């Protein structure tokens, strides 16, 4: 396999193990590790804490009240009830809101405000609001609902504070792949990206894994305008075989053919590349919607292995000298690794 150049400078927090006690405890452990006081995003990566709530006290006052895993413990399936929440501002000025507004203990509601406009609700322990909030749907489980076995968390952040990625594993299986990050737009005039709510331009996308498919969402608050037509872009691509409803993470920008098949290669390790391994393709986003079809943009430092098997490479595989890591089985997500640490997935 030829190894591609890495465009971003990445920082890692790897092989963080949670010894299972409860599902809500696992979610709390991830959120404290990622966003809590002393956590990866605010302390290691330098994201600004805009405000928070531990379910008892909340304010948009720059205070991080997620001081332990247990303080991420107040959940409600409502935006109008006390919950644990935190808002972090990234290096692009985008606010990312993590809120324990969900129907079960394993899900965190992730949304963002491109304009950095989150304010506290009238009752500050309730979910914050933003005039330009981008949110399409709940992301599915973050830690797996099974009430047994340890979890392992892998965290990634870019040096410009504009990209974060979380991978959670249980028993050598991927439980979730959560991302909030920038991307490179590929639109050419007259096509434009614009916010359907609040005006402005696209600043970020979120991605997740819902136990079946890998989702990249340019959320329903965004509109991709092409020749006067609006496209609400919700990408829905399966592991290594990107099948999209409106768009997806696609190998080589093959928006018109999202099958993920070889498309004519006679071998998994092509002769023109020395027969030495699968080819890697940059993850990209595309839309098939009539009047708004084409390539939406390119994802940074995430690749596909285009293979003839849904089981190659295997989750946890590394490439080079621990330089790249297969987040999932089947080659659907390959990302940079730290070059030193052997991955733990159970």
SS (H, E, C) 156-192: EEECCCCEEEEEEEECCEEEEEEEEECCEECCCCCCE
What was the pLDDT predicted at 46?
A: 98
Nearest to 181 by CA among 2, 5, 1, 7: 7
Instruction: Identify which of 162-176, 177-191, 279-293, 308-322 has the greatest average pLDDT.
Output: 162-176
Q: Return the pLDDT at 250.
A: 38
Window from 102-106, 164-168, 258-262, 323-327 with minimum mean pLDDT = 258-262
Answer whether residue 263 shows pLDDT above 90.
no
- Mean pLDDT, rounded, for 126-130: 97
Contacts of 111 (CB under 8 A, 6+ apart): 96, 97, 99, 130, 133, 134, 135, 206, 219
How is residue 283 annotated by DSSP? Answer: E
Rg (CA), the chain: 20
Q: Which two tokens stand for residue 162?
A: 């504009």
pLDDT > 50? residue 264:
no
- Residue 15 burial (CB count, 10 A): 14
- What pLDDT is attached to residue 115? 87
Provide the pLDDT confidence category of residue 332 given band limits of 50, 70 and 90.
Answer: confident
Is a pLDDT exceeding 80 seen at residue 247?
Answer: no
Is the pLDDT at 265 greater than 60? The verdict is no
Q: What is the pLDDT of residue 219?
A: 42
């Amino acid at each position: 396999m030829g190894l591609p150049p890495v465009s971003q400078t990445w920082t890692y927090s790897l092989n963080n193990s949670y010894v299972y006690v409860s599902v809500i405890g696992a979610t709390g452990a991830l959120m404290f590790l990622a966003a809590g006081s002393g956590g990866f995003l605010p302390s290691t990566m330098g994201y600004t804490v805009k405000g928070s709530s531990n379910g008892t006290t909340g304010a948009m006052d720059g205070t991080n009240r997620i001081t332990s895993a247990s303080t991420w413990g107040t959940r409600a399936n409502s935006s109008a009830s006390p919950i644990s929440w935190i808002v972090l501002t990234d290096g692009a000025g985008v606010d990312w809101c993590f809120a324990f507004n969900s129907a079960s203990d394993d899900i965190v509601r992730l949304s963002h405000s491109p304009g950095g406009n989150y304010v506290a609700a009238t009752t500050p322990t309730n979910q914050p609001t933003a005039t330009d909030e981008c949110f399409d749907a709940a992301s599915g489980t973050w830690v797996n609902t099974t009430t047994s076995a340890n979890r392992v968390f892998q965290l990634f952040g870019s040096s410009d504070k504009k990209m974060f990625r979380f991978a959670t594993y249980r028993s050598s299986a991927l439980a979730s792949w959560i991302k909030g990050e920038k991307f490179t737009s590929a639109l050419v005039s007259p096509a434009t990206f614009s916010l359907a709510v609040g005006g402005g331009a696209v600043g970020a996308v979120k991605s997740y894994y819902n136990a079946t498919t890998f989702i990249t969402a340019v959320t329903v608050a965004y509109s991709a305008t092409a020749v006067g037509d609006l496209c609400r872009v919700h990408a829905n691509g399966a592991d290594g075989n990107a099948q999209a409803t409106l768009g997806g993470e696609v190998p080589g920008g093959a928006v018109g053919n999202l099958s993920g098949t070889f498309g004519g290669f006679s071998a998994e390790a092509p002769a023109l590349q020395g027969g030495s391994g699968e080819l890697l393709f940059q993850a990209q986003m595309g839309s098939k919607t009539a009047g708004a079809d084409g390539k939406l943009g390119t994802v940074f430092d995430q690749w596909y292995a285009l293979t003839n098997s849904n089981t190659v490479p295997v989750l946890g595989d590394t490439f080079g000298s621990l330089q790249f890591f297969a987040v999932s089985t089947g080659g659907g997500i390959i990302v940079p690794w730290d070059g030193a640490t052997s991955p733990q997935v159970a």
